[in-house]
Amino acid sequence: MKILVCLKQVPDSTVRVKVAPDGRAILTEGITWAISPYDEYAIEVALERKDADPTTTVSVVAMGPARSRDALRQALAMGCDDATLVTMAAEEVGGLAAARALATLVTERKPDLVLCGKQASDDDQGLVGAALAEALGLPHVAMVTKLEPADGGAHVTKEVDGGHEVWKAPFPAVLLVHKSEKEPRYPSLPGIMKAKKKEIPEIALATLLGEGAAPPAVTVTRLEQPPARGGGKLLTGAMAQIATELATLLRDEAKVLS
Amino acid sequence: MKIWIVGERKDGELRRVTAEMAGKASDLGEVTVLEVTGLERPSPRAAATALAAKAAAESPDLILIGATAAGRDLAARLAAKLGRAYAADCTDLAPAGDALEVRRPMYAGKIRATVTVPLPAVVGIRPNAFPLRSGYALPAPLAVAADPAAEGLSFVRFEAAARRGQRPELAEARVVVSGGRGLKGPEAWTQVEALADVLGAALGASRAVTDAGWRPNEEQVGQTGRTVTPDLYVALGISGAIQHLAGMTSSKVIVAVNKDPDADIFKVCDYGVVGDVFEFLPAFTAAAKAAKAGS
């Protein structure tokens, strides 16, 4: 099986993201960057297939500025076979344009499965994966938590309200990963050494986008920190008394208990 | 402005977010409420195919879809199929010249963004973002028939989650009772559920709890889990890691119970109890029951 995982480098989830003075971007100085968490799950899901069947190959592709190489290097160290960086002049590209560019790449590489995280933890749009499937004329499955080979395709487990659905996806298909069964693996030391030696070829976004008008995209005009909360009321005393006071406050002051 | 609302049903009833969106949209333009029929299970490609065919004929300026799990999936596929701009998870929207200005969370809820969306567009709307409009009667939705075969996948089976009672869904719930590592083990949820029953709440959990297998993954609140915006969020034995806070700080009222007075959860709470969660649970369950009964 040939798997392609699309990933994006985003601020590490433990980072306190701050807004730049112009209010249109985040402060990137001193930020720790990481593979977007859902993409990391996608890598784990792909590598578990490779664990089960060593003939499986897992390729990774990232789109973004030069720092994205670190994310690709990390994916290689985890056990992915090869990596490609799609470079671009701007810091960001719209979701539909990203999908169009990735579709060109997928058409060239012909993987059996394309795995994407269900959304990137920066803009949190969750557009690229579904748009990629649409551009390729393929079905997609969202909220994927598990993948098993099945005759001519895969059985794909999808988290839904109240449980899980299993769908049979014929190859090729696009899967949008929500979680892996196991936590994403850490790179091994030999993995890190091996990854260091691998070439990461670059392709320019413009090459993949080809001709044609740019698809419509949204524009971020202002970023703000959420309003600070705080000034909460600490309740003290005996627990029975606290409980009664809290219930009364929630009913009469906050009006959320009725 | 011609606005479509794509409704979604749960257990035969239109979800509340459908009426929330339609009430808000009725301020902005002429509203048509639709629902996709003929699909036994949410099938984004099949639904998008049916909606896109109708949109090609009728050219709505704006298509609003509730940002439930199925709604997010459909909205992205539909925007791609129509080649329209898309903004996910919006919490507010207003016309801005020929475009739309929306507010939406970014960076897993750590940042709030104002975003310009060129029209025509597809926009996802978070449940609980708009109050139900008083005096607004939701029109009966127009059926848009979809063909399940257009999905290109075959359904194999459904595996129901164990231990699930009649509770509201996490992303839509008005009240969420959430437990963390401070609850010490899965046994504690007997008491958590008793409180949730009294409050009519959905159950949530911190990542530590779902990772440990005490509770199913679908209950995880925070980054890589669900984002929730209930009227009341009760955090029991949750320390308040930044990834958890990102998923729940937009709740209207937050109650935190933790034995560690320095826990970060107290920095975001409206009401805090520093103490033993196992003493708190039975006492507060009884008190909430009494308060609701009006005594």
pLDDT of residue B164: 57
CB contact under 8 A, B69 and A160: yes
Q: pLDDT tens for residues B261-287?
A: 999 999 999 999 999 999 999 999 999
Give Dmax over CA atoms of chain B in angstroms. 62
CATH 3.40.50.620 domain extents, chain B: 2-151
Tell me if chain A has a CB within 8 Å of the CB of B255. Answer: yes
Beta-strand ranges (E) seen in chain B are: 2-6, 9-10, 13-14, 30-37, 62-66, 85-90, 92-96, 99-106, 111-118, 121-125, 142-145, 154-160, 175-179, 202-205, 232-236, 253-258, 271-274
User: Which residue range(s) make up the domain with A106?
Assistant: 2-209
Q: pLDDT tens for residues B164-177?
A: 567 888 888 999 99
Kindly state whether residue A107 falls inside one of the protein's structural domains.
Answer: yes
| Region of residue B288 (left: phi > 0; alpha: psi -120 to 50; beta: else) | alpha
Tell me if chain A has a CB within 8 Å of the CB of B223. Answer: yes
pTM comes to: 0.93
Total domains present in chain A = 2
Mean pLDDT, range B16-45, rounded to an integer: 96
A257 and A183 in a common domain? no
Mean pLDDT, range B24-32, rounded to an integer: 96
A85 and A191 in a common domain? yes
Mean pLDDT by 10 residues, chain A (258 residues): 97 93 93 97 98 97 96 98 93 92 98 97 97 98 96 94 93 96 95 97 95 93 89 91 96 91
B-chain residues within 8 Å CB-CB of A159? 69, 217-218
CB contact under 8 A, A163 and B256: no
Residue B258 pLDDT greater than 70, yes or no? yes
Percentage of residues of chain A with pLDDT beyond 70: 100
Kindly state whether residue A89 falls inside one of the protein's structural domains.
Answer: yes
Cβ density class A174-195: b for 16+ within 10 Å, e for less: bbbbbbbeeebbebeeebeeeb
C-alpha dist (Å) from residue A100 to A7, A63, B117: 15, 12, 20
The end-to-end CA distance of chain A, in Å, is: 56
Residue B111 pLDDT greater than 70, yes or no? yes
- Residue in chain B closest to A252 (alpha carbons) equals B291
CATH 3.40.50.1220 domain extents, chain B: 170-292
Percentage of residues of chain B with pLDDT beyond 70: 98
Mean pLDDT, range B239-254, rounded to an integer: 94
pLDDT of residue A169: 97
Percentage of residues of chain B with pLDDT beyond 90: 89
Kindly state whether residue A220 falls inside one of the protein's structural domains.
Answer: no
Q: pLDDT tens for residues B83-95?
A: 999 999 999 999 9
Tokens of B45: 């490609």
B-chain residues within 8 Å CB-CB of A164? 158-159, 161
Of A160, A244, A257, which has the smallest distance from its Cβ to B292's Cβ?
A257
CATH superfamily of B170-292: TPP-binding domain (3.40.50.1220)
Q: pLDDT tens for residues B199-224?
A: 999 999 999 999 999 999 889 999 88
CATH class of B2-151: alpha beta
- CATH of residue A37's domain is 3.40.50.620
pLDDT of residue B295: 52
CB contact under 8 A, A256 and B80: no
Contacts of B257 (CB under 8 A, 6+ apart): B234, B235, B236, B237, B272, B273, B275, B277, B280
What is the least distance, in Å, from the CA of A226 to any CA of chain B?
6
What is the least distance, in Å, from the CA of B89 to any CA of chain A?
8
C-alpha dist (Å) from residue B19 to A179, B36, B37, B228, B263: 31, 16, 18, 19, 38
A252 and A142 in a common domain? no
pLDDT of residue A228: 83
A175 and A64 in a common domain? yes
Q: What is the mean pLDDT of chain B?
A: 95
Tell me if chain B has a CB within 8 Å of the CB of A32. Answer: no
